[in-house]
Each structure stands twice: as structure tokens, then as C-alpha cells.
A and B are shown apart, each in its own frame.
Chain A
């Protein structure tokens, strides 16, 4: 967001060469950054939303990790070594908060701008195209998610829950989680007809938050249910995060990364194409 350049095309936020092949020409002006700037200005007035977004996972950590954790004692970690309950759920909460932030931004906020404030229509009267809008909005969701995650990681550090140097990778992992959920959330929003449809999103998010190994290990379930849980995106986010913060790093983590990358790309392509169809009628 430096102000030194006049009209220089910037490098896109996401390496988008394969993406652009399925996108119509003229839908990217290379100025997604200006949308991030716009969001930053708009949120100066809504700093309270920022603060509450930071404290939500911290409260969960205190209530469940310290409170409930004193009853639960220790659980087997990803590599089988025993792990305190707070250290077990903290990476899960980090993944879930990255998901929640990205989903909120890319569903409710995007729907409002799309259908009510007509903000995107105003943007399309400028050289900006649907790709700028999608990248700009997802970019902002990432920036915001990144700030929350950094804050939560600091809290985890203060509680002594970061025991491995691999934990430095938890921040980029949180950004990947936010990217994947933000892209899919935006794609889903482009199919929403009214606010009622958003109950479907709650119906998907809430059970995932509770059951995708955020609060207890996969081994608790019978095998058929385990297979089901392993399909959920939040499961992969939680397992990736838990491997990194506890130092139980194995090649298996790449499978989680791959799942999230595929999710981000598919969601992104669908979101951009649908935005084009909705706005450029």
C-alpha cells in the first residue's frame, strides 16, 4: 500500500497464472490492493469488531483449556506422546478462528456488498474487474485473519503452549486455512439468494467446529465416523496446525496442505467466475 507508483500493475496477491486461463480477458486490472486499502479505511471505524475477533478464541482457550482441562488431564498428541489439554485444543482453536474470520468476511460481508450496498457495481464502473474484487476481498480477509492468528499465537506462547520451533509455520498455515475457507465462502455466497440461505453456512460451520477434532482426538470415534470426519476441511486445518505447534511434524502434513490448496484454488475459480456472471449481466 505504498503510494510511490502511479499506474504500475502490481504482482497479484496469489500466483494466478493457471487461474487466469479460465477467467475472461479484461477482468483483472492488477489493482486488488486498492480494495484492501478501502477495507482498511472502512475498518478504522469498526475497530471493536477487530477486538472481539481476537478475544473469542482466547476466551475458549481459557474456559476449555484451563477450566475443563483441569478435569481432563492429558490426551495423546498427534505422535502419541501425552499432551496437556490446553496444548491440545489451542491449535484447534487457532484453525477454527482462522476459518470463522474468513467465512464471516467472505459470506455475510460479501453478500451485503453484492446485493445491498452495490459496492461491487460501483467498483466495476472503474477499470477494476471481478478478479480484482475477489482477490482484494480475499486478500483483506487474509490480512485480518493473519492479525488474529498472530495475536492468538502470542497468547499461546505466553501460556507456554508453543513447545516446538515448527510453530513459526503456524502463522502461514493459518493464512492458508483462511485463504481456503475465504475462497470457498465467497464461492458459496455467490449462490445465495437471501439471508435465509446463510443458515446453511451455520449448519456447516458449527458441527465442524465441534466435531472436527478441535476438542478431542479422532480416535474417540468409531472407524466409519472417523472416515467422515477426515473428509471435513476443518479436520485438515486442525491436524496441520496441531502437528506444527506440538512439533509432531511428518510428511503426512503435506496431505493436509494439499487438501487446503485444492480447496483454495477451486473456491477461487468458482468465486471469480460467479462474480463475473452476477455483476456483468
Chain B
């Protein structure tokens, strides 16, 4: 990860008037990597993405995308990247196929080239049989697939995906993940923002957790779990009216405990052992569950459980 970094940022900052949306972040994304931005709403993920996409000038710090400076070479960079925005902005006045062809023309591709490319991408997005439909008639999942297909029209080296699967049903999400995985196999570097932890665990080689405009943690999903959480989590559920044990009941049995309205969470390397100890001490939860720690546990630990906005 030296001179060939796809994206490199140091002290990258974005201010909107008095509001500092991104507060001096460092990034280094290697070719072929799938890199995730995790964070609650308003964490600054989208602002960072917009700066990388060269549609939002940075307020301070340095930024290089594909080795170029967005302030100087914006159009040259945009010619080589693909962007999937948070909200679909397909051209509602055009058909599915025309959306791909016209978008290719914006990149300066010839008519013959965009016609070929549109046919390939319709196949890739499983939309060939809807090619002549108006865009309004597509389902949410189809629109999302078309938006992703559109972002590939110029064979981008770097793909920016802002919450690619928000609002989709599980089938549509899995189909999209499959498509993104295929792109990764082809060596397309991807930057993904998401607040779905399962999505980040599925897709990302490496990720950063953003909160309040700064990066609060960085690593692979496994590294982050190892660093900020325990291997396993024991969930003890109690009936709302029943008298519940206090934190002292679990003193010494787990590395960390957390109380939620309906349950206790006990963090430990060996969940079964903790559960055994709990039972022996006479605590009788209504239900109990031992599970592996997930990125979601890390996320909630780092960014808190209260609503961001």
C-alpha cells in the first residue's frame, strides 16, 4: 500500500458553515480491497464519500483518488470511478436500456460501445427481460441493480457504494451481495458505506467505524471483534415484571456486562462456562442464549446505544 493506493486521505475535513461533518480522517485503500465505512446516521460517511467522488470540495486536508487530486483532476477521476448513490437517481424519463446507454454517453463512450456494454450489464443485473420497461415500473431491488449496473458502464477501477442495500428485501440483498462479490473477484476496488453489520461482515476486507466525523476504529471484521469485544456473548432474558438480579450477581463471571431493558448481556471468551456459572449461582433467567460476538456488538460498543438523530 504505497504509491499505488486507490484512495489516500490525511487530515481530510469537510465543514458546512459551522458544522464539521468530517473531522480530519486518515484513509488508505489498496487496489482490489473492499473497504467499509460503518457508522450511525450523521457520522460523516456520506460526506466522506462525496469528497472521494469529486462532487464535494474538501475543506482541508489532503486527498488523492487514483493518485490524482480531486480539486484539480475531478473529471479525469470521475471518468474512472463508478458511483452508487444512497438514493437511486435513475433517469425516470428513459427506459432501462436507455438509462445505461445514455449514461455511457456522458462518459464519452461511442454509440456502438454503449450498446454492447448495456447488453452485458443488463445480463449482469438480471434485467435483460425488462430492458425496454420504463424505470418507474421496476421494483426497489431492480432499481438498485440498475443503479449498480449503471455505475459499471465505464468499467470503473474504483466503485463507491453509499448504503447499497438499504430498504431491500433479503432476496434482493443477497443477489446484490453476490454481484458485488463477483466484482471483487474481478479486482474492482470498492468503498461501501453501510449500517448493516452483516453486510459489512459479508463484504468488507477492512473497515472503519465512523462516529461524529472521526474514525473511532479500523481493522478487518475479525480484528475489530477481537479488539473491542469478546469471542462470545451470553444473553439472559428476564420477564419485565420479575425481580431481576443486579450487576453484582455477575461479578467475576464475565469480562464485561451490559444491562438492557429486557436482558443482561455477558461478554466472555467461553459463553457456555459463563452460563453454567450463572445457573450455579441461582440466577434463573426466563431464557438464555450463547452466541458468537458480531460486528454489531463492536459497533454498539463504539458508537453507543442512544439514537444519533
Contacts and interface: CB of A to CB of B under 8 A. Distances in A.
**Most A Cβ at <10 Å: residue of B87, B111, B112:** B111
Contacts of B79: 126-127
B55 A41 contact: no
A118 B162 CA distance: 15
Interface stretch (A11-19, A25-33, A167-175, A240-248): A25-33
A126 B107 CA distance: 6
Given A6-B110, A26-B72, A280-B56, A121 B89 contact: yes
B interface bracket (residues with beta carbon within 8 Å of A): 35 or more
Nearest to B71: A26
Contacts of B110: 3, 5-6
B33 interface: no
Contacts of B65: none
Contacts of A41: 93-94, 98, 102
B279 to A, nearest CB: 56
Given A26-B73, A26-B75, A127-B75, A6 B108 contact: yes
A12 to B, nearest CB: 15
A118 B135 CA distance: 14
A7 B85 CA distance: 26
Contacts of A6: 108-110, 113
A42 interface: yes
B89 A118 contact: yes
B107 A127 contact: yes
A38 B94 contact: yes
Contact of A126 (B78, B85, B92, B113): B78
Contact of B55 (A7, A29, A117, A124): A124
B102 A37 contact: yes
A37 B114 CA distance: 14
B299 interface: no
B108 A3 contact: no
Contacts of A117: 89, 91-92
A42 B73 CA distance: 31
B284 interface: no
Contacts of B83: 125
A281 interface: yes
A164 interface: no
B55 A37 contact: no
A125 B8 CA distance: 19
A119 interface: yes
A108 B219 CA distance: 48
A123 interface: yes
A122 B154 CA distance: 14
Given A26-B75, A42-B91, A280 B106 contact: no
B108 A122 contact: no
A128 B102 CA distance: 12
Nearest to A6: B110
A45 interface: yes
Interface in B69-90: 72-76, 78-79, 83, 85, 87, 89-90
A127 B82 CA distance: 11
A127 B80 CA distance: 9
A121 B86 CA distance: 12
Nearest to A128: B106
Contacts of A280: 55-57
A70 interface: no
Contacts of B89: 117-119, 121-122
Nearest to A46: B93
Nearest to A121: B89
A119 B91 CA distance: 6
Interface in A144-198: none
Contact of B72 (A25, A127, A128, A129): A25
Contacts of B154: 126
Contacts of B56: 280-281
Given A29-B75, A38-B94, A117-B92, A279 B106 contact: no
A226 interface: no
A141 to B, nearest CB: 16
Contact of A281 (B16, B98, B151): B16
B75 A37 contact: no
Interface of B: 16, 50, 53, 55-57, 72-76, 78-79, 83, 85, 87, 89-94, 98, 102-103, 105-113, 151, 154
18 contacts: A26-B73, A26-B74, A29-B108, A31-B105, A38-B91, A45-B93, A121-B85, A122-B89, A124-B78, A125-B55, A126-B79, A127-B78, A127-B107, A128-B75, A128-B106, A129-B74, A280-B57, A281-B16
Interface of A: 3, 5-7, 25-26, 29, 31, 34, 37-38, 41-42, 45-46, 117-119, 121-129, 279-281
A-B pairs, top 4 by smallest CB distance, nearest first, are: A3-B111, A42-B93, A118-B89, A125-B83
